[in-house]
Amino acid sequence: MKYTNEIRVYYADTDSYGVVWHGAYLRWLEAARVEYTDRVLGIDLKKLMENGILLPLVELNIKYKQSAKLDDRLILETEIEEMRPSAIVFKQTLKNKDTGVVNIVGTVTCVAVDTEKNKMFRRLPEIFTKAFDKVLSAV
């Protein structure tokens, strides 16, 4: 299941040439993964943290295809590409809303960490597998 959000490119997102600064993409990707986890999976990351579980990013791969520019209207699609025993791999695609041109394609791998032991869970906690199963059954 995909989660889609719209982004407008503001001056603060660009360099002096009006081209989106590469770090702005990272902020947008992170925000979309948080929204996906909350709205699609039904998992509140703050409550998860209060219960001793973190979901840090451990791998990030971005292919920059076409620069976005000042005042562009963009669509960011986020979905789970793969659910591994100990990790979740998100696929994220950012494209221009008006032209459909793809700006970036990214994959992000996150793992669950036990804050008490400061170690990665060997298997994702049940809250993730149940939420993922629920999403799959709705498709």
Instruction: Please count the structural domains in the chain.
Output: 1
Query: Among 13, 15, 72, 98, which one carries the catalytic annotation?
Result: 15
Q: Which of 33, 17, 6 lies closest to 94 in space, CA to CA?
A: 6
C-beta atoms surrounding 115 within 10 Å: 13
Q: What is the mean pLDDT of the chain?
A: 95
Q: Which of 44, 24, 28, 38 lies closest to 92 in space, CA to CA?
A: 28
**Counting every residue, how long is the chain?**
139
Element (H, E) at 95: strand 87-96
37 DSSP assignment? I
Catalytic, 133? Answer no
* 68-82, 95-109, 118-132: range with lowest mean pLDDT: 118-132
Per-residue pLDDT of 51-95, as tens digits, reads 999 999 999 999 999 999 999 999 999 999 999 999 999 999 999
Q: What three-state secondary structure class fits 107?
A: strand
C-beta atoms surrounding 138 within 10 Å: 8
Let me know how many helices (H) and strands (E) the chain has, helices first.
3, 8
Contact partners, residue 102, CB within 8 Å, separation at least 6: 65, 66, 93, 94, 95
Is the pLDDT at 138 greater than 80, yes or no? no
d(CA 94, CA 107): 12
The CATH number for 63's domain is 3.10.129.10
Q: What is the pTM of this model?
A: 0.93
d(CA 82, CA 120): 18
pLDDT at 139: 67
pLDDT band for position 137 (50/70/90)? confident
The domain containing residue 94 runs over which residues? 3-138
